[in-house]
Amino acid sequence: MLRRAAPSGLIALASLVLVGCGGEALGDDGPPGTIELGELSDPFAPDPTVSATSVVPSTVVPSTAAASTTAPSSAPPTTVDPDAPIGRLAVGNRVLVIGDSILAAISDRYGDELCDQLVPAGWSVEVDAESGRSAEFGLEVLDDRLAAGWDAAVVMLGNNYRDSAVQFDEQMAEILDRLGSRPIVLLTVTEFETSRAEVNYVLEGLAASRSNVWLGPWRTVSAGNDALLGGDGLHLSTAGRAALAGLVAEGLGAAPAGSVGSCLDSDYEDDSQGPPTIYVPEPDDPYVPPVDDDEDGPPQPPPPATTTTVPTATTTTAPRSGTDPPPAPPTDPPAATDPPAVTAPPSVPGT
């Protein structure tokens, strides 16, 4: 009982003290000129007419707007418009084209669609592309031709993928690094095999990290479009050659004002690893298969087939066993003559 009475007394005493203090603060005996606390105006206090819920959005809206400008999007995070021609960054009109059989098919030694598209736009074009080449071929071309001076580049490699994404990424990154700040059209490849998805993944990543690279979506253009491709699902038909050349022209745009275009010669014309294009004649096809430029004119048809007489089993050319003597060389049969006269042997003396 005593332990419970003590807190009750303390509570009562505390109540009396608070009442006394309150009465003194609000009474009329305070010093002259004293203003009650409720009458002061706080310059930093919120407007009492604005509710708490209406104040919060006003302080959040600016940050929300700023966040929306930096939200990630599906477009490559580059500093240039991905839809604008990258060639506008060039200071000259010389463009180096590096590739395999797919770009070789639109070079001047086959359909010539690339020069047909780019030369009127003011570009001077050299196509260094050969069939069966992989990414390391691009490094070989740069070793040989980069010093010739180029203002832009077009690169399409990866159709002959070696199934090593790490190696392909390293080689392609080196190619782009060596091309430096030149504007580059980097073309994706047709995914005629599932492994080519790895190629395009690498190419997309490389393009996204470089503001001077325009990623040409040949993968998307050719996907499921049988009219652009041959029976192997990779090499180009007549329509495919025109479409690929048009895509490159879209990426480059026009050369600097006043440029005069030309189609330059190339030392890279080895297509011994396979034909760079699949030719299917069409009624209105302007493409003419290449002919031999030798002085003797175009290749002649092969001579008609000849037949040989098979020797009979009685001839000396019949197979022999390992113990038989070698056959005598064939000779003409002796001319028919009368048999020699038979004479009696001379007699022997004493018989």
Determine the Cα–Cα distance for residues 197 and 176; give it in Å rounded to an integer. Answer: 20
Q: How far apart are alpha carbons 95 and 250 in whole angstroms?
A: 14
In the predicted structure, residue 182 carries a pLDDT above the cut 60: yes
Say how many CA atoms lie within 13 Å of 296 toward its Cβ. 2
Would you say residue 112 has pLDDT above 70? yes
In 3D, which of 126, 123, 124, 128 has the Cα closest to residue 99?
Answer: 128
Q: Mean pLDDT lowest for which of 63-77, 87-101, 217-231, 287-301?
A: 63-77
Q: pLDDT at position 275, please? A: 78
More confident residue, 286 or 169: 169
DSSP letter (8 states) at residue 30: S
pLDDT of res. 231: 87
Percent pLDDT > 70 in the chain is: 55
Residue 34: phi and psi, rounded to 5, are: -70, 135
Q: What pLDDT, on a 0 to 100 scale, did the predictor assign at position 350?
A: 46
Of 51 and 176, which is predicted with more confidence?
Answer: 176
State the average pLDDT over residues 226-255.
95
**Predicted local confidence at residue 104, as pLDDT:** 97
Four-residue CA torsion sign, 88, 93, 94, 95: positive
Give yes or no for residue 135 having a pLDDT over 80: yes
**Continuous segment of H or E residues that includes residue 244:** helix 238-252
Question: d(Cα 30, Cα 24) in Å, to the nearest integer?
Answer: 8
Residues 6+ away with beta carbon under 8 Å from 218: 156, 187, 188, 189, 190, 244, 247
Mean pLDDT for the stretch of residues 288-294: 43
Confidence of residue 339 (pLDDT cuts 50, 70, 90): low
d(CA 157, CA 132): 10
pLDDT over 70 at 296, yes or no: no
Would the pLDDT of 192 be above 80? yes
Q: Which pTM value belongs to this model?
A: 0.59
For residues 17-27, give the mean pLDDT: 42
- CATH, domain range 93-263: 3.40.50.1110
pLDDT at residue number 303: 54
Q: What is the Cβ-side half-sphere exposure of residue 326, based on CA atoms within 13 angstroms?
A: 3
Q: 145: closest CA among 164, 162, 126?
A: 126
Of residues 8 and 256, more confidently modeled: 256
- Mean of per-residue pLDDT scores for the chain: 74
pLDDT (average), residues 39-64: 42
Average of per-residue pLDDT across 111-130: 97
Q: What is the rounded CA–CA span in Å between residue 94 and residue 122? A: 9
Cα dihedral across residues 130, 136, 138, 143: positive or negative: negative
- Segment 203-229, tens digit of pLDDT: 999 999 999 999 999 999 999 999 999
Q: Can you give the pLDDT at residue 84?
A: 78
Q: How far apart are CA 264 and CA 261, in angstroms?
A: 9
pLDDT of the residue at 147: 98
Where are any strands of DSSP class E within 106-182? 124-129, 152-156
What SS3 state is found at 116?
A: helix
Alpha-carbon distance of 318 to 315, in angstroms, equals 6
Residues 6+ apart with CB under 8 A from 287: 110, 111, 238, 241, 279
Query: Residue 9's CB: how many other CB atoms inside 10 A?
Result: 9
CB 249, CB 123: distance < 8 Å:
no
* Token representation of residue 185: 């059209």
Q: Which amino acid, one-letter code, is at 88? A: R
Which range has the worst mean pLDDT, 115-119, 124-128, 314-318?
Answer: 314-318
pLDDT in tens, 138-174: 999 999 999 999 999 999 999 999 999 999 999 999 9
**pLDDT of 49 higher than 90:** no
The beta strand positions in the chain, using DSSP E, are 94-99, 124-129, 152-156, 184-187, 213-216, 262-263
pLDDT at 297: 43
* Angle formed at CA 255 by CA 252 and CA 259, multiple of 5 degrees: 160
The residue ranking higher by pLDDT, 176 or 297, is 176
